[in-house]
Amino acid sequence: MTSYERLYRFLSPLMPVHYRKIWRMLRRLCPGTEPSKRILDVGGRKSPYTIGVNGQVTIVDLPRQSEVQRVLALGLNDEILAQLSRNRSNIVELRLEDITKTTCETETYDVVVSVEVIEHVPDDTAYLSQIHRVLKRGGHFVLTTPNGQAKPNMNPDHVRHYRPAELETKLKETFCDVSVLGIVRQGFVHRHAIGGWVPQLRNPASWIRMPWRIGMALLANLLEGHGPVPTDRANQLFAIARKPIIPKQGEASDIS
């Protein structure tokens, strides 16, 4: 591991709740006792939740071009690409492309992870179809997204917010063993545990607020705990699904 990764792991209690949930799941799916698995991180940017995971990580994301992307910190730019190359040890490939039109090879990845991405994608059917295509048979798809039951869509770049039943139904069109849970409680935890705490270098006021934000993030993460949150009280949804080993009836096999 690099010094950056060691520092990040030391500070992991401050990691946003949905990042920690994803990290724990990836550690279970890619245990250190087994050979390294191939992981595709869709829209991963810096992919902090794959640090220390026993996997070879490929990030696929759009280039940061629009003003909305810049304001919302979406996509990859030259600075982030340089940081990833310098700081990360298990990221093996960076692909600047649209996941709905990805050129990734079929049946390549053991795990696909997608954190806060599907709500940005206009064609969610194409998005899920491509993820299904690049997953190996029996591979797992893990994602988070805002909860439409509890969180109105006020984001200029969000196409939709799924309700839990809607997300489950959508995933079952393509995957099996689908489970949708609530994470990140509304109110105090959502305000303090999901937001970033790292100070902005060009904003001196953010350094002054840093001890307060770190303290609040720690407290919020401790309150959040490790269990699921009732979906009617959760701001975020966490889902895991599996690609069937045997093709569904009427489905063309991906295996050539």
CA-based radius of gyration for the chain: 18
CB-CB contact of 84 with 46 (8 Å): yes
Cα–Cα nearest to 232, from 194, 171, 181? 181
Look at residue 208 in the predicted model and tell me its pLDDT.
56
Tens place of pLDDT for every residue, the chain, 256 residues?
A: 899 999 888 877 777 778 888 999 999 999 999 999 999 999 998 999 999 999 999 999 988 888 877 877 778 888 889 999 999 999 999 999 999 999 999 999 999 999 999 999 999 999 999 999 999 999 999 999 999 998 888 888 899 999 999 999 999 999 999 999 988 766 555 555 555 544 444 555 554 555 656 666 666 666 655 566 777 778 889 999 999 998 766 565 444 3
Quote the pLDDT of residue 197: 47
Cα(253)–Cα(256) distance, rounded to whole angstroms?
A: 8
Map tokens 């949708």 to a residue.
180
Distance CA 193, CA 173 (A): 33
Please report, for the chain, the start and end positions of each structural domain, with discontinuous segments joined by +. Answer: 3-189+228-242
DSSP 253: P
Contacts of residue 218, defined as CB under 8 A and 6 or more positions apart, other chains included, come to 13, 14
For 225, the token pair is 């705990």
pLDDT computed for residue 231 by the predictor: 78
Longest dimension (CA), the chain: 60
pLDDT at 238: 94
The CATH code belonging to domain 3-189+228-242 is: 3.40.50.150
The reported pLDDT for the residue numbered 95 is 95
Within 10 angstroms of residue 188's Cβ, the number of other Cβ atoms is 13
* CB neighbourhood size of 223 (10 A): 13
> What is the arrangement of strands in the sheet containing 91-96, beginning at the earlier edge strand?
91-96, 55-61, 37-42, 109-115, 135-146, 234-242, 176-185
**For residue 66, what pLDDT is reported?**
83
Q: What is the pLDDT of residue 211?
A: 63
